[in-house]
Structure formats: structure tokens, C-alpha cells
Amino acid sequence: MFDARYTVFIDNRVHRGVPGYHVVMPLKLEGSDRSVLVNRGWIARSASRTELPRVETPQGPVTVQGVAIVPRLRTLELSDTVMEGPIWQNLTIDRYRAARPIAIQPFMIRQEGDVRDGLVRDWEAPDFGIDKHYGYAFQWFALAATIVVFYAVTRGKSKKEPHG
């Protein structure tokens, strides 16, 4: 069962140009004293930052389908104040353990599927930096082509000039 008391709203998450939060909630594991964090999805932020959005939370045992991930810092932090009550800039397992009095697993579940709870689960595909590698390859091939053209032009001029 989800424990809404320890919900964390991860700030500055934008979906289709709309600012909002990722909603992270611990899920008590059946037959265990431990919980696992579940990123349940995205929800739009209200007009006032002091008013948190209302999140529908199922009561009783639930089955969650998703992908296990290890959350990492994603947003640059310019302040030591990165956790203000339930609104956090970033979430890591160590930070959550230090701030909340419950035992949690060393990973988080990124929930998938249509649960009809008002949360958006349109997750970004993992960025492996492939576009950056294509950029590097283009840069090196362009440099090689420039060197070949430079060599051909300077070598051609030296053959045409009469020798003294």
C-alpha cells in the first residue's frame, strides 16, 4: 500500500511546456518492513507554489508495474536548501533515507501503465549521448577533409611555381 505521508514532489519537471512535479511515494512491500520508492508520474503545478496538487492515491494493496532505476541528480543545485518540506529539487536514495524515517530499497520504480489516477507517465527515453557522438564524428571528418583540401591546395601551388 502507498504511504502518502512521505510523498515527495520533484520540482521543475516540464511536460509539453507545462511546469509540474514528479510524484514520488513509498510503497510498503507486502510481508516486509521495507518500502520501495515509486515515481508515480507527472502532475501539473498549481498557480500558487504554496498549494500542492491533489494526487489520487489508491487505498489498500496495489500492484505496480514499472522499471527499476537508481535516481541521480539531474538539476544543478545552487543552494544547500534543496528540500523544502514535500518539494525537492532532486531526489537520491541517500537523501530520501536521511530525510524520511522509513526503510527503503536502494532503487526506485518508475511506474508505467494507465492507472487512471490523473498522473502522466510519458517518460523520456534514456539519453545515451548518441547525438553528441555523431557531432564528434562529424567534427573529426570535417577536420580530416579540411586537412586533405589544404594539403591538395598547398601541394598543387608548390608544383606550379618555377624553381629558382
Q: Are residues 48 and 84 in the same domain?
A: yes
Q: Which is it for the CA torsion 12, 9, 107, 62, positive or negative? A: negative
End-to-end CA distance of the chain: give it in Å, rounded.
Answer: 92
| Residue bearing the bigger pLDDT, 156 or 161 | 156
Burial readout 62-74 (b: 16 or more C-beta within 10 A, e: otherwise): eebebeeeebeee
What pTM did the predictor assign? 0.71
Residue 117 falls inside a structural domain = no
Largest CA distance in the chain: 96
Q: Are residues 84 and 23 in the same domain?
A: yes
Q: Which residues span the domain enclosing 147?
A: 128-164
Q: Are residues 32 and 61 in the same domain?
A: yes
Q: What is the DSSP letter of 4?
A: G
Residue 48 falls inside a structural domain = yes
Q: Are residues 55 and 105 in the same domain?
A: yes
For the chain, give the mean pLDDT. 85
Condensed to tens digits (0 to 9), the pLDDT of residues 95-127 reads 899 889 999 999 999 999 888 888 999 887 766
